[in-house]
Structure 1
Amino acid sequence: MSLAPTGARGKYLALWIVSRNLGQLVGGAINLSKNHEKGASGGITPDTYVAFIIIQCLALPFAFLLSPLEHVVRSDGTRILVSEKLSTRSEFKLIKFTMSSRLILLSALWALWSFFYSGTWSTYLGTYFTTRSRALSSLISPFFCIVGCFGLGFILDLKGVSQRRRAQIGLGTVVILNAGVYIWSIIMQVGFNQRDPGHIDWDDSLYPTAFLPYFLVQTTGPLSQSYMYWLLSSFATDAQANVRNGAAFRCLEAIGQAISYGMNTQIETSPLIGFIVSFALMAAALGPMIVLVNSTPDRIPADVVMEEQEKVHPEKVEGLKSQEV
């Protein structure tokens, strides 16, 4: 949220989605290799986790290669505004202020909704699809998510369009795509409630129309998260504010995810209820989000402040650039 150049934040967030989905691709490949036979009952062995342990071990050294934010010069030549270090007490006060800020309050329902889909559509997949169909979905779903997030990133990084207008276009795109998937899912589930299809395999004629809602929500869901992180960074007053705002959003996001999975653990609950609740949450979140989006600044406040500081002390950024070379 802070490292990306102002005009490339959408692309950088898409790259974050790519890195996040690489783990899902590895897990999906392992899952499908073990459950590709028709009639497979599924199961996880300790070997399944070996690849993830290796990835985690390899990632640790790279974390130490990250430069401190105050030494970073972005690819467009700009620097990151970093505030002075605060005491623990002061930091807690700022966290409290962040959780009650207008930015977080207006985006709270969106945060609760943005990951709510995961529990509901996972229940849908587990209820109506065979083991090998679910294994296939775990491999192919992340691919389209990557494509979709780069598409949204392109919209959010449009040149010659104000930041507020891009925020408005992005909001409309995310809402329309999610609404389409929800309507499709509800139609499918109403049909399943009337006539149980049993467990659908990938060679059944019903598979494409039944599976596509799950497949598409694995893209439209992350789009809502990627968009929100982009929007939060548009209001940043410094790098630490980005961290606090992102953490507050993630906290609320996790609460929504927990509620979703808890609701779907009820055996007697049809996925239809989850679909309708998800749709209702999005509708409820839309009003506050429109208010927030329409107040998006045309420029990131932190960038404006940094430019003013550089005019007063231009030698600082020149020194950092020479160190980078």
Structure 2
Amino acid sequence: MLSTHGANVKQLCIKYNLNEDKITDFSSNINIFKPHINYELLAENISFSINRYPDIEYSELKENISHLYKIDKNYIQVGNGATELIYDLLLLDEFKNIGIFNPTFSEYERASLINKKNVIDLDINKIDQIDENTTIKDFKNLYLQENVNIPDILILCNPNNPTGIITNLQNLIKFCKKNNIFLLVDETFIDFMYNENFSLISNIKLYDNLIILNAITKFFAMTGARLGYTFCSNKDINRALEKIKKPWSINILAEEVIKQLCNINTDFYEKTKNYFTNESKRLYDKYSSIKNISITNSSAPFFTISLHDKNAQELQKKLLLEKNILIRTLNNYKNISKNSIRIAIKEKHINDMLFDILSDYF
């Protein structure tokens, strides 16, 4: 395994003595479009505020996020990227038994184990068998042995990371509400395509057991600004998060960036959704023509390919050393073939370049 996360380009280039500037990185799932930011104004505002502490309550920041997502500011908690919020949430005493729908982002399990929580591995491929009439006994029969505790919280990414498959979660949230289970949904990738009907953000007020996680990292292509946020109407959970919150974990850059994102043209959203929707379909059709592989029908800015008769790690190393191309292997994910790769959707000509290389390889 070359890296635990995607985009670990610098370390790989040091290891293999490669030029980082020449690497085409298909392991990092970032929007190829960038929102229009007035960098002169951004620099001016930062230079004016750089010698001041950020507001420790993040009042203005939360108001701006509230404006951006049309969410009550009292439902918002912020963190230094979504990852900090994952660790904060899974530190809470309310969550002792953590049910994680796999495959998924590895930090959920890592945060649970670091915080000494009981991790319950759940196969996401069975999730459609849960509905509002599912009983705890049914759930145990579906997922658990009789002596395993029922989760206090269920966690999943929607669309899924790494497959990109999106799921209607209305039945799951009803099941959770009925059985006093919290549901944490990572919607980091949901805005890349026309997935509005799958988002649970409009259910925040209705279900106080629902927590939605998002960030500016992926969709807005602002990985360096490090800003994530949760939406939750449960006062006890928000109060508990505020109690353990590290002071000044959000910097001035993130605060100033959000101000500008509140005013970006709606064309940015439409351009992104239109491109990734069409390009994902085009690539699915192209890769489906290759024998000896299986590709997921993705609703995210990436897709997964399972290799039938090739070795994923050997392919990753071959592409990196011979073609300066970095892809993501999935051998550290659960409930998915270890011989799989994840490929980010880039500009059309770059996608075609990789397709030509892989079609020759297979």
- On whether the aligned pair clears a TM of 0.5, the verdict is no
**TM-score between both structures, scaled by the size of structure 2:** 0.25
Q: Which has the higher helix share?
A: 1
**Structure with the higher strand share, 1 or 2:** 2
Larger radius of gyration between Structure 1 and Structure 2: 1
Higher relative contact order (CA 8 A, sep 6+): 1
